[in-house]
Amino acid sequence: AGGGRLLDKIRKWYYNAAGFNKLGLMRDDTLHEDEDVKEALKRLPEPLYNARVFRIKRALDLSLKHQILPKDQWVKYEEDQPYLEPYLKEVIRERREREAWNKK
């Protein structure tokens, strides 16, 4: 169990060192938008999509101003939920299934 706690501390340190959370972004907001991610974004419920757009616009604004959010507004490691991941996994599964079907 001690090794698990150490690994979690390293993950948390790396999460904070990456810096995107200081702009109010979540991990899924930083994914490279390839075709799979674009399709997953189309499947997001509107409130999740709108929240993502808000976070990205705010981060761009802060970045242009060379500012970060006040510390109490940073996204915490424990609060960062992979909101896009379930949709992305579904898109990838469907694409692989289509590719396998087309090979037959």
> Which region among 4-8, 54-58, 89-93 has the lowest average model confidence (pLDDT)?
4-8
pTM: 0.86
Contact predicate 40/84, CB 8 Å: yes
Angle value at C-alpha 8, between 72 and 66, nearest 5 degrees: 35
d(CA 52, CA 20) in angstroms, rounded, equals 13
C-beta neighbour count of 42 within 10 angstroms: 10
Position 3 pLDDT exceeds 90: no
Position 59 pLDDT exceeds 60: yes
Report CA dihedral (49, 35, 86, 11) to the nearest 10 degrees. -90
Query: Which tokens sit at 82?
Result: 């992979």
Q: What is the CATH number of domain 2-103?
A: 1.10.1090.10
Q: What is the mean pLDDT of the chain?
A: 95
For the segment 44-51, the average pLDDT, to the nearest whole number, is: 98
